């Protein structure tokens, strides 16, 4: 067994889509589609129906409205949007060119990657803030459920992830960025203080490294699976 095959994340990813040493492309496609459809169904169940706790609106409608509002007030939002779009385009190209997927399934899986990036970032950002600055941050249970549904949708592309040295390096940078942010008091870009430049810089750095973390997983994972299954 090679050093790549010994990677725990790689092994678990392949076990998720193949139960036998030799697996046909159709068998792999069926299992990946089942995973993607299940994740999308759960996301739709949580985010599309109207909820009484949100004034009878759906979460999806609230997020769209919030995004349109915050885009004109938050200088970091354009970066977040650009990073999400880049992860989508990058993933779509890898799924189409490396794995030879149909346009439909390439789009479905590629659309899940921005959710993986933004949701994991927000989960780390909001829950760390809950411990560092509980006086101004508190994510209710409903918010945690929303984040969980977005993270779950992001896991649709999990069979095509592979951990590499670049992934672990980016993971260390992610942790270091949030650690440094917490140490200096977790300043926010909405606050006017002497730490505002640090708040902006750390927000930018952690957003970019989180996006690159998922790009590294997709890049290495699509290379590995193409070599083994010859899509």
Per-residue pLDDT tens over the stretch 147-188: 888 888 888 888 889 999 999 999 999 999 999 999 999 998
Task: Give the tens place of pLDDT for each residue, 197-224.
Answer: 999 999 999 999 999 999 999 999 998 6
Task: Give the tens place of pLDDT for each residue, 76-87.
Answer: 888 888 999 999
What are the DSSP calls for the chain, one per residue? --TTTT-HHHHHHHHHH-SSSS--HHHHHHHHHHHHHHHHHHHHHHHSSEEGGGTTEEHHHHHHHHHHHHTTT-TTHHHHHHHHHHHHHHHHHIIIIIS---HHHHHHHHHHHHHHHHHHHHHHHHHHHHHH-TTT----HHHHHHHHHHHHHHGGGGGG----HHHHHHHHHHHHHHHHHHHTT---TTS-STTHHHHHHHHHHHHHHHHHHHHHHHHHHHHHHHHHH--
Global confidence as pTM? 0.76
Task: Give the tens place of pLDDT for each residue, 53-97.
Answer: 777 777 777 777 766 655 555 678 888 889 999 999 999 999 999
pLDDT recorded at residue 10: 46
Task: Give the tens place of pLDDT for each residue, 11-26.
Answer: 554 454 444 444 455 5
């Amino acid at each position: 067994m090679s050093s790549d095959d010994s990677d725990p994340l790689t092994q678990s990813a392949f076990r998720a889509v193949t139960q036998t040493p030799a697996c046909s492309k159709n068998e792999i496609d069926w299992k990946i589609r089942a995973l993607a459809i299940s994740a999308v169904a759960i996301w739709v169940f949580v985010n599309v129906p109207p909820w009484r706790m949100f004034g009878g609106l759906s979460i999806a409608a609230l997020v769209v409205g919030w995004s349109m509002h915050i885009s004109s007030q938050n200088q970091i939002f354009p970066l977040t949007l650009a990073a999400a779009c880049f992860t989508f385009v990058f993933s779509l190209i890898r799924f189409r060119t490396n794995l030879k997927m149909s346009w439909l399934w390439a789009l479905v899986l590629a659309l899940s990657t921005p959710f993986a990036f933004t949701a994991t970032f927000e989960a780390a950002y909001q829950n760390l803030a809950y411990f560092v600055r509980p006086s101004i941050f508190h994510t209710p249970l409903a918010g945690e459920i929303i984040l969980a549904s977005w993270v779950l949708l992001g896991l649709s592309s999990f069979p095509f992830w592979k951990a590499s040295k670049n992934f672990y390096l980016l993971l260390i940078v992610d942790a270091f960025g949030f650690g440094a942010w917490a140490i200096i008091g977790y300043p926010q870009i909405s606050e006017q203080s002497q730490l505002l430049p640090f708040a902006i810089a750390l927000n930018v750095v952690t957003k970019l490294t989180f996006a690159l973390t998922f790009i590294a997983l997709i890049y290495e994972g699509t290379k590995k699976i193409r070599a083994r299954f010859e899509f």
